Structure 1
């Protein structure tokens, strides 16, 4: 048996390595948010140190990976669209779902907090945080940050005619400013994320001509590259883990050792790209491509799904944390995809974008015998 929609999604994916990379990144994001939810809501999670260690390691490169991926395509977008068109497009596909889903999640958490023990205690001020302090609204800050970084980067590149070298210089300066803000506990809300991730978006733009050059794919997918990158990745992640544990703060390296963090994050992203190209070359683990293709839809609703699943598992008497985490991880990836297609079927595509999807993208999951 094979799902028709599974096959349709693979056909729509023009660059498999992109979806593989997004699949890896979104799984790591979902893992982190589930683990953090467990840590706040359940007793005994600290008994499983390896789960916390994995959470710390994943933190080093998962969000830079998303920004680099977005930066890779900005040049091609500018070849097809004006600055105004790109801003409108990014509003439709990034800022709009951020506003919709952040408001929805805050409202649901506000309503159910009186009946169910949840991690987030909401009040009316949280609606103000949506615009000013997005990191107070769980996972949603990323969409807001990506919109802001993209708009600023495009305007600097196109309107101010700033070349990529200077863009990288700007990114380095803003990155060090964000480090200063972190170490001095200065909270500038959404501005911090712009300062912090601008450099990774610029890196994506810098490497785009190589990453999109199909003649380079054999090199990117080579096992020689894998064997070179693997020890670099392991050493970097080991240092990141041990240093953060020693200081009792998983953000220590990021805040206090910005140069090392940038090297560790970038090397982690390069290694993930290598793995993605290898998976594309061998055409395996296609389910990961499907997950990556739906990464936005998973991102906006996975916290709500994970929280509901955790509460249900507790009520059912399940107490083994690793098993609970695995179940939550699976459901928090699968169910948001289902919610997305149900929304499309009901004509509620506007929950995810103001740009109506083409009929070819509205695929319905139906079992089909593989021929």
Structure 2
């Protein structure tokens, strides 16, 4: 590849990640209630919404990560930044997670979170951070020997074919290799997209609203088939990304969606804390609300978690030690950087 990009802030990616993390919280509000609300036979509408969210919400973050990784970097500072941004929060949250998960094992979906599981299998609720960190460990080598070569696009085709065929290797979960194989497709797509991003935004087809109407209709029509074959699982994230990117660029015109920007910039904190609030509110809601009012449970479950996450994030950002432990960059002294 000929183009190399210096670091730049993309507000639309904050919006994109904000949309993504809200969908994560909403998706978990269906699947983590303990009421089997995503049962296709009992609650088809919930099953449909759940499939819609899960068809693309996590690939959004890997596409954004790949996009932002296409820039100049030094290997030493690159690894240090990933240790601070991902490894330290991963270790910290799993230490915090261990105590309540074992003391109150009857209140959680999975009480096992051994040291072996944390080191080799991404913990219980931190697979995204673990997978992205391992991916970044491999990134400099991939970047040098594959991403920047003339035939770089062949590697993307290779990843697409592997995931569509679903070989036995996709079942290897040590070091989350199965997830790396799948999500590297979207990470690499984001990396490539960076090279043509400015040109794509000006393209008449990209700005054709009819295209997004067609994509939306296609997505909704075939969504019920999403979980039944590997082809739809591979294709849907690209469609979901295009729709969310277009919506994010539309919002960017107003430049005042501070709330969505806040969610995007703090999406890692939201992701790390969400399982704790999910466990707390799930117990309370199941105890006080009857299954007959399942729609109320979903609304309350989502709202309570989201409000709690916003408040917690504001507090964490005001405390330097906590902010650091959750992966935020901390400027010790502005004058030093002048």
Q: Give the TM-score, by structure 1 length.
A: 0.76
Shift of 1:99: 2.0
* 1:255-270 correspondence to structure 2 within 5 Å: 257=231, 260-270=232-242
Unaligned 5+ residue runs, structure 2?
1-7
User: Residue 310 of structure 2 aligns with which residue?
Assistant: 337
Unaligned 5+ residue runs, structure 1?
1-12, 245-249, 361-371
C-alpha root-mean-square deviation of aligned residues, in Å? 3.0
Which of 215, 224, 227 matches 2:210?
Answer: 227
Which of 26, 45, 50 matches 2:45?
Answer: 50
Q: Does 1:137 align with 2:132?
A: no
User: Residue 112 of structure 1 aligns with which residue?
Assistant: 104
**Change in CA separation of 1:356 and 1:96 when aligned onto 2, cut-off 3 Å:** same
User: Residue 69 of structure 2 aligns with which residue?
Assistant: 74
Corresponding residue pairs, total = 322
Residue 73 of structure 1: SS of its match in structure 2?
helix
Shift of 1:243: 1.8
Give CA deviations for 1:70-115 in whole Å, capped at 9, x if unaligned: 1111123xx2x302211111111012212221332243211111xx
Contact 2:269 2:313 in 1 (8 A): yes
Q: Does 1:195 align with 2:181?
A: yes
Measured in 2, the distance between the counterparts of 1:92 and 1:17 equals 24
Measured in 2, the distance between the counterparts of 1:334 and 1:145 equals 27
User: Residue 93 of structure 2 aligns with which residue?
Assistant: 101
Contact 1:73 1:205 in 2 (8 A): yes
User: Residue 62 of structure 1 aligns with which residue?
Assistant: 57
Shift of 1:194: 1.7
Q: Give the TM-score, by structure 2 length.
A: 0.83
Which of 82, 96, 102 matches 1:90?
Answer: 82
